[in-house]
Every structure is written in C-alpha cells, then in structure tokens.
C-alpha cells in the first residue's frame, strides 16, 4: 500500500466516516435490537443443572438458579485499550488491532452508501479496556454480502480466516477418567478458584461414566463434521488424560476455532428431571467479547438437538462461573446431552440409535451456526 501523509489519511477517514454514517446507524440499530433480544432470552432461561466442574447438582424442579456473575475487580490481567478503527479500510483496521494484540471477527453487511471495504462499526467500542487476545467484532461493508428477503445478511459472517480456508471446530469431551482436584483460577487473573477437572456423572441404571459417554459422542461428532469439510481439533481422544478446564479452552483458542463445543451429560439428585440444555458463556468481563456469538451458536445447536432427539427442553442458559468458558476467546457452547440420573434418559444415552440422534443434532446445529 502506498504511503500517505497523516493529514491526507485523516481527511480520507473523515470523509469515509461521513459516507458510512447512514448505513452505520442502521447497523448499530440492528445491534441494539439484538441486544434486547439477548436480554429477553437470558431473562427467560430454564434451570441450569449440571456444571462442568461439579459431579452432581442438587436441584428442585421449578427453582431457577440466578445467573452467576463475577466481580470484575478480581481480574488483575494487564488490559489493552481498544483503538478506534471505524471508517478505516478493513486492512488498516486489521493491522491496527493486530498491533494492539487483539483478535478479529468479521460480520459482513452490504456496502449500501458506505465506502466498500471499510469498517462501519466495532464491538467493543474504542477506548474500552480489555484483555489482550480478546476478539473485536468488526461490521464491515463487504462488497460480496447480500441481504436475503428476511433481511438477514448472508456472507462470510464470523469468518476470521482468509476465504477458502476450512472452518475449525474444537470439540471438548467433558471430564476425564480421574479427576484432578487441584484448583485453578476460574478465569484469567481471578482470585476465586475451582477444581481443575472432575470425573463427571454416572448412569443411574447403566452405570455408564459421563467421561466415556461424551468421548464416544464427541468422536462421532468429529466424523460428522469432517464429512462436511470442517477441520476438527479434539481436546482429548482418550479417557486417561489430565487436562484442566482452562487448558481445554486454551486448546480451542490456539486452534483459532470458529466454535468451541463442549459435550457433557447432566446429573441431578432428582431422578425425575430429564432433558437437554445448552450453556453459553456470559455475564462477566472475560467472555463479553464472545457472548453474542456464543449465544447464537447455543441457540442453533440447542434447537437442532431438540429437533433430532425429541428430548425435553431445559433451555439455553448463560453461565459466568465455568472455567472452561472463562478462558475461551472463541465462541463457545456446552451441550448437556441428557440426565444420567434419570433412568429413562440414562438408558437412551446408552442406545446407539439415540446417541446418533444426539450427534446428528449437534452436527446440524454447528453447521447451521457456521453458515455452511
């Protein structure tokens, strides 16, 4: 790119911002509507049951657990200030954010009256202080984007890679054969700690171990996704491993995964409870950059699993307390595939035909989220 004088460049940016204003406002209005939708959805979630790091959760049906939040003052990580890249050509925005040590996700929108190829909006906004390596969402005027009749933009949304590169999904089969009860901070720089990883639940009737069940589901899911041309990175392919929940998230981050999918099964002291829930990260500063995309993925995966299995709907649930989410810098979901404490669902989860339905649902939801 030819070098330009600073005054030239500033003038050019100012000019482009003016032109971007109309479409930019429309985009921001859309973001506001989405935020309201998120608030509505998170206000109406079902009862969260299992947690990754807890073997058995005592539950009373109908008693909703409040969304857990984490005190931001417990975060001691060095933060970086988000630069203002709105109005800049995409290439320059990527360069600036790269220098600041931040990651990028792109959301495409047709150029309209805006200058093609420029950034129309960014989230988080300029001046916010966030953890290094956090993802900045850029809405840009993509010449290849089209608007469907529904008004939904279809393009290479959420694609952080050059065109033609395969999508990457990181699958984490929950737990492992032997728990590691040593503690780790629940998020980067947190003073609050939690067990590194637990052994998981066991079937009420079949006695099948959660860590074995979810590995088998995950390996089948890997096959389904690879058949669709998706690159799959596994956090584990054996049961006898020692990988903490934070390490699992870091594997997904290092893979620059388009989606981090954690596979679990649920348990409750109430054997009557059954059904599927899908968890997503939200409600703390660590996961703020991935919350919106994670919710979108959770909704897609949850709907597809319910459709495929016919299981009871236990909702899409926001969680701020899971280490396996709090270290993630890529969109993340956790599928609770059913209750091992429920005799009927335990038997279903031991049945290859039902397991195939669970896997088909997860694969369909992931593919839908990735826009493939």
Give the footprint of Zn ion on this chain (CB under 5 A): 174, 200, 264
**Among residues 248 and 264, whose Cβ is nearest to Zn ion?**
264
In the complex, least distance from residue 176 CB atom to Zn ion, rounded to whole angstroms = 11
Q: Distance between CA 227 and CA 240 in Å, rounded?
A: 27
CA distances from 187 to 37, 281, 327 (A): 27, 12, 6
Instruction: Measure the CA–CA gap between 267 and 362, rounded to whole angstroms.
Output: 20
- What is the C-alpha to C-alpha distance for residues 256 and 169, in angstroms, rounded to an integer? 9
Taking every pair of Cα atoms in the chain, the longest distance, rounded to a whole number of angstroms, is 73
Q: Tell me if 366 sits within 8 A of 169, measured CB to CB.
A: yes
Closest distance between Zn ion and the C-beta of residue 50, in Å?
5
Name the minimum Å distance from CB 247 to Zn ion.
16
Q: Which is nearer to Zn ion, 169 or 335 (CB)?
A: 335
- Does an H or E element contain 326, and which? helix 323-326
Q: Which is nearer to Zn ion, 264 or 318 (CB)?
A: 264
Q: Which is nearer to Zn ion, 27 or 214 (CB)?
A: 214
| Residue 214 CB, nearest approach to Zn ion (Å) | 7
Nearer Cβ to Zn ion (174/282):
174
Q: What share of the chain is helix, strand, coil (3-state, %, to 5)?
A: 35, 25, 40
The smaller minimum CB distance to Zn ion, of residues 224 and 264, is found at 264
Cα separation, 24 vs 85, whole angstroms = 13
Instruction: Identify the helix (H) or strand (E) that includes residue 92.
Output: helix 90-99
Single out the residue of 163, 167, 289, 300 nearest to residue 233, CA to CA: 167
Min dist CB 116 to Zn ion, Å, is 47
Q: In the complex with Zn ion, which residue's Cβ is closer, 26 or 241?
A: 241
Least distance to Zn ion from the beta carbon of 207, Å? 16
Phi, psi of 60, rounded to the nearest 5 degrees: -110, 125
- Report the residue number whose CB is nearest to Zn ion: 264
DSSP 8-state class, residue 51? B
d(CA 158, CA 156) in angstroms, rounded, equals 6
3-state secondary structure of 295: helix
Up-side HSE of residue 37: CA atoms within 13 Å toward CB?
11
Whether the ω angle into residue 321 lies within 30 degrees of 0, i.e. cis, is no
Cβ-based nearer residue to Zn ion, 200 or 203:
200
């Amino acid at each position: 790119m030819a070098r330009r004088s600073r005054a030239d460049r500033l003038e050019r940016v100012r000019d482009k911002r003016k032109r971007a204003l109309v479409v930019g406002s429309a985009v921001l209005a859309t973001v506001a509507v989405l935020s309201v939708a998120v608030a509505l959805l998170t206000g109406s979630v079902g009862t969260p049951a299992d947690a990754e790091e807890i073997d058995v959760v005592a539950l009373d049906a109908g008693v909703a657990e409040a969304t857990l939040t984490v005190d931001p003052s417990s975060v001691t990580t060095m933060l970086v200030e988000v630069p203002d890249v709105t109005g800049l050509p995409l290439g320059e925005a990527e360069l600036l954010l790269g220098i600041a040590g931040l990651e990028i996700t792109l959301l495409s929108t047709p150029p309209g009256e805006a200058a093609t190829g420029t950034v129309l909006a960014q989230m988080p906004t300029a001046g916010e202080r966030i953890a290094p390596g956090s993802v900045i969402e850029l809405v840009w005027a993509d010449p290849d984007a089209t608007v469907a009749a529904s008004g939904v933009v279809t393009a290479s949304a959420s694609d952080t890679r050059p065109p033609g590169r395969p999508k990457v999904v990181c699958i984490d089969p929950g737990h492992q054969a032997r728990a590691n009860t040593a503690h780790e901070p629940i998020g980067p720089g947190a003073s609050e700690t939690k067990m590194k990883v637990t052994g998981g639940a066991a079937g009420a009737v079949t006695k099948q171990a959660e860590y074995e069940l979810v590995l088998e589901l995950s390996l089948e899911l890997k096959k389904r996704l690879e058949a669709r041309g998706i690159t799959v990175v596994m956090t584990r392919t054996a049961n006898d491993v020692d990988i903490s929940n934070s390490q699992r998230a870091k594997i997904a981050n290092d893979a620059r995964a388009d989606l981090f999918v954690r596979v679990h099964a649920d348990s409750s002291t109430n054997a009557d409870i059954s059904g599927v829930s899908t968890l997503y990260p939200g409600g703390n500063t660590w996961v703020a950059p991935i919350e919106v995309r994670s919710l979108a993925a959770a909704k897609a995966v949850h709907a597809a699993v319910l459709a495929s299995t016919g299981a009871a709907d236990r909702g899409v649930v926001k969680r701020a307390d899971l280490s396996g989410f709090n270290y993630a810098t890529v969109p993340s979901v956790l599928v609770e595939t059913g209750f091992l404490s429920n005799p009927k669902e335990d038997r279903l989860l031991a049945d290859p035909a039902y397991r195939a339905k669970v896997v088909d649902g997860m694969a369909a939801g992931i593919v839908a989220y990735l826009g493939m």
